[in-house]
Amino acid sequence: VRGKGVDILLRALALVRQPFEAVIAGDGHHRQACEKLAESLGLGSRVRFPGHLSAGELRGHYEEATAILVSSVWPEPFGLVGIEAMRSGLPVVAFDAGGIREWLRDGENGLLVPWMAVESYAERIDRLLGDKNLARAMGERGRERATRDYDFEQYVARLEDLFKKIINEKQ
């Protein structure tokens, strides 16, 4: 969909100097326009649009990836895909939109880009593609953060504790 910023991502990818292959997962009403834009920007051989991917297919792509690019330009409430990428040991490059800065620490587990700064987005992609050691280090810090701060079982336990506290206060 338009708010996910795939068109903006494509414009940034057209500026990237390092070799890459981008896989843009998902479907939506904006997909056909994005496919046409990719062709017009000369990205046809470097960008694929496979549509919806199963969890297993997505994990396979994560295993092959250098980074995950989160191009949302609307005020993303949280951006769960970033946490999924971090769990897989991948750094994230994302626009500073909505709640993304809650989990993305610029220079630690990825690179945070000023909102709609297409050239900066391209530069940061180039930086990670050109420095695999940096990408791996950020990815590992992301995995540590996701494990520490966003573990599902710990999250549920914290919710249960909160509910117990609220129930006890009401009694």
Q: Nearest Cα to 93, choosing from 30, 16, 37, 26?
A: 16
The tokens 């990825």 sit on which residue?
110
Instruction: Give the Cα separation of 125 and 101 in Å (integer).
Output: 18
Between 126-135, 137-146, 160-169, the lowest mean confidence (pLDDT) is in: 160-169
Burial class of residue 109 (count of CB atoms within 10 Å of its CB; 0-12, 13-18, 19+): buried
Tell me the pLDDT tens digit for each residue of 9-27. Answer: 999 999 999 999 999 999 9
pTM passes above 0.85 = yes
8 A C-beta contact, residue 104 and residue 110:
yes
Residues of the chain with pLDDT > 70, as a percent, come to 99
